[in-house]
Amino acid sequence: MFFPRKLVVTLLGTCPWHRCHRRHAAEIARLSVREALASLEESRKDIKIQGWVRSVRSQKDVLFLHVNDGSSLESLQIVSEPNLKGSALSFGSSVEVVGTLVKSPHKKQSVELKASDIRVLGACDSYEFPFKLKERHPPDYARQYPHLRCRTNTFSSLLRVRSEATAAIHRFFQSNGYVHIHTPIITSNDCEGAGELFQVEATNWDSAAGDKSGFFDVPAYLTVSGQLHLEVMSGGFTRVFTFGPTFRAENSQSRRHLAEFYMVEAEVSFTESLEDIMQVMEDLFKSTTTALLSRCPEEMDFFNRYVSPGQKDRLEQLLKQRFMIMSYTEAIDVLQNSRDAFRYKPQWGCDLQTEHEKYLVKHCGNIPLFVTNYPYDLKPFYTRDNEDGPQHTVAAVDLLVPGIGELFGGSLREERLDILQSRLDGLGLNETYQWYLEIRKFGSVPHGGFGMGFERYLQCILGIDNIKDVIPFPRFPHSCLL
């Protein structure tokens, strides 16, 4: 809650320039719609509500309004005499309503506001406003209006859930002793070696400084992962996490990819096996999802009803189960023994495709599935060598979830200086990663970590088909609106 400030300024000595800006305490209590709806008092005078009109229904001797301020999915019903209706009062306009909060005689809501005054703050031409009263707008229509779509039920619910998920993730790590690290956005590294990078340069560098080597003296890119920088920090704090934007310049228009998306990444030192990492992944997924079910019940019901029927039941079932585990080698066996016709033939040594991942999860009863120990050649240089044979694997793990496929990717990191050095030598990267080798030189520890795609997590939890509909301002090829 915040109320207009009662400023009491201490006058300092004899200085004549300080003036006392004092305001009278507001006698009218300003409530958010959420607070008003949660009000348990039978009747409460002098309440002020502010928000946007979601419906206007004018009858002969009574006017019904619904006002929403984004604090909850539900709107507050306003009841007034029809003469309070200004001409500018329409769907989408912003209003300030003063009145008495009373118990509602209708079943649909617990309370309503009997208005004594309605003031239109900002008009809204319903013909020009792209969203219409009582219409359901398909997501690709809403996406064309990134500056207005937060006024729809679907997108405002999504963003409230996103905000709660963000808070829940921070809480999870904080309460488990992790130190939060802001890993850099601009970096001279390419963590994944994928090559699909955005390069960064100052717009006015050449001309301003007569300097051809660029702002940073070296080519600089937008980060594709905070992992290597988190590894630096796990070497001092034992447990660290980051939650920030990552970037891929992939020319993909799929429902699963964005050029700018958010990753939750954690790194843990003194690991004993891959299971230490899997345990954190499972705990994070379950703790965040449990928080959402309890803190956003209206929004979860809304998505369950209108977007992905049955989703809530499926989530609640899933939270009761221990996640499954299968090695990559076992997974290939399962796929090769399946009767399904895959577009890509499953074969040891090849990446699992989304169709394979979805099949495996289904095969396991739609319970999230850890696939472990991938072929050596499939994973980046930092993955810990299992030193096994004849099928040479590394200690990597992906978590596959229903409807999405890969949600988390993690691994133990190669902490043994000699093994890492010879791998980097082979790749000709020894010099570039001198600093990375030094972490292994000065008090190296066994460690591992993972990354979770935050937007994919939201898709998975809410059953939302297109990744562009779970982020406030999606960026993808040919599109950078606003």
Q: Is position 368 an interface residue for its own copies (rule: CB under 8 A)?
A: no
Residue 17 binds its own copies (CB under 8 A): yes
CB of 415 to its own copies, least distance (A): 7
Q: How far is the CB of 106 from its own copies (least distance, A)?
A: 25
Out of 18, 45, 106, 255, the residue judged to bind its own copies by CB under 8 A: 18
Nearby residues of 200 by Cβ (< 8 Å), 6 or more positions away: 186, 220, 221, 222
> Using CB under 8 A, which residues numbered 408 to 427 contact its own copies?
415
Output 43 or 473, the one with its CB closest to its own copies. 473
Strands 260-269, 111-122: parallel, antiparallel or unpaired by DSSP?
Answer: unpaired
Q: How many CA atoms lie within 13 A of 81 on its CB side?
A: 4
**Residue recorded with tokens 């005499």:** 81
Residue 42 or 412: which CB sits closer to its own copies?
Answer: 412
Quick check: 480 binds its own copies (CB under 8 A)? yes
Q: How far is the CB of 330 from its own copies (least distance, A)?
A: 4
Residue 234, SS3? Answer: helix
Residue 141 contacts its own copies per CB under 8 A: no
Pairing outcome for strands 111-122 and 76-80: parallel
How far apart are alpha carbons 49 and 95 in whole angstroms? Answer: 8
By the rule CB under 8 A, 450 interacts with its own copies: no
Q: Does 127 bind its own copies (CB under 8 A)?
A: no
Count Cβ atoms within 10 A of the Cβ of residue 261 and give its class: 0-12 exposed, 13-18 middle, 19 or more buried. buried
Between 193 and 477, CB nearer to its own copies: 477
Instruction: Out of 94, 104, 354, 466, name the contact with its own copies by CB under 8 A.
Output: 94
Residues ≥6 apart with Cβ < 8 Å to 307: 154, 462, 463, 464
Residues 6+ apart with CB under 8 A from 292: 161, 164, 165, 168, 300, 461
Contact between residue 373 and residue 327 where contact means Cβ atoms under 8 Å apart: yes
Shortest Cβ 303–its own copies spacing (Å)? 17
Burial class (CB in 10 A: 0-12, 13-18, 19+), 138: exposed
CB of 249 to its own copies, least distance (A): 3
Quote the Cα angle for 255-280-165, to 5°.
50
In the complex, what is the shortest distance from the CB of residue 471 to its own copies, in angstroms, rounded to a whole number?
7
Residue 175: CB minimum distance to its own copies, A? 10
The whole-angstrom separation of Cα 26 and Cα 16 is: 29
Q: How far is the CB of 11 from its own copies (least distance, A)?
A: 10
The answer to whether 50 contacts its own copies (rule: CB under 8 A) is yes
Least Cβ distance, residue 204 to its own copies (angstroms): 7
Strand partners, 246: 261
Count residues binding its own copies (CB under 8 A): 145
Q: Is 482 one of the binding residues for its own copies (CB under 8 A)?
A: yes
Which among 63, 36, 68 is positioned nearest to 50, based on CA atoms? 68
CB 54 within 8 A of CB 67: yes
CB 43 within 8 A of CB 100: yes
Contact 417, 440 (CB under 8 A): yes
Q: By CB under 8 A, is residue 297 in contact with its own copies?
A: no
Q: Whose Cβ is closer to its own copies: residue 4's or residue 349's?
A: 4
Cα distance between residue 117 and residue 125, in whole Å: 22
When computed from its CA atoms, the radius of gyration of the chain, rounded to whole angstroms, is 28
Interface positions, 63-82, toward its own copies (CB under 8 A): 69-71
Among 29, 237, 256, 466, the residue binding its own copies under the rule CB under 8 A is: 237
Does 218 interact with its own copies (rule: CB under 8 A)?
yes
User: Which window, 98-106, 298-306, 403-411, 440-448, contacts its own copies (CB under 8 A)?
Assistant: 440-448
Interface with its own copies (CB under 8 A), residue from 192, 260, 385, 406: 260
Interaction of residue 272 with its own copies, rule CB under 8 A: yes
Q: Does 32 bind its own copies (CB under 8 A)?
A: yes
Tell me the C-alpha distance between 62 and 72, whole Å. 25
Among all chains, which residue has been given the structure tokens 């990559």?
328
For the segment 153-212, give every residue that binds its own copies (CB under 8 A): 156, 159-160, 162-163, 166-167, 170, 174, 176-177, 179-189, 195-205, 208-209
Options 236, 297, 309, 426; binder of its own copies; rule CB under 8 A: 236
Q: Which stretch binds its own copies (CB under 8 A): 92-100, 351-359, 397-405, 420-428?
A: 92-100
Would you state the structure tokens that stand for residue 366, as one six-digit string?
A: 């739609």
Block residue for tokens 């729809």:
152
Q: Does 363 participate in binding its own copies (rule CB under 8 A)? A: yes
- The helix or strand, by DSSP H or E, that contains position 395, with its residue range, turns out to be strand 393-401
Footprint (CB under 8 A) of its own copies, residues 372-411: none
**Which of 81, 283, 387, 425 touches its own copies (CB under 8 A)?**
283
Nearer to its own copies, 262 or 376 (CB): 262
Query: Which 301-340 positions form the footprint of its own copies (CB under 8 A)?
Result: 321-322, 324-326, 330-331, 333-334
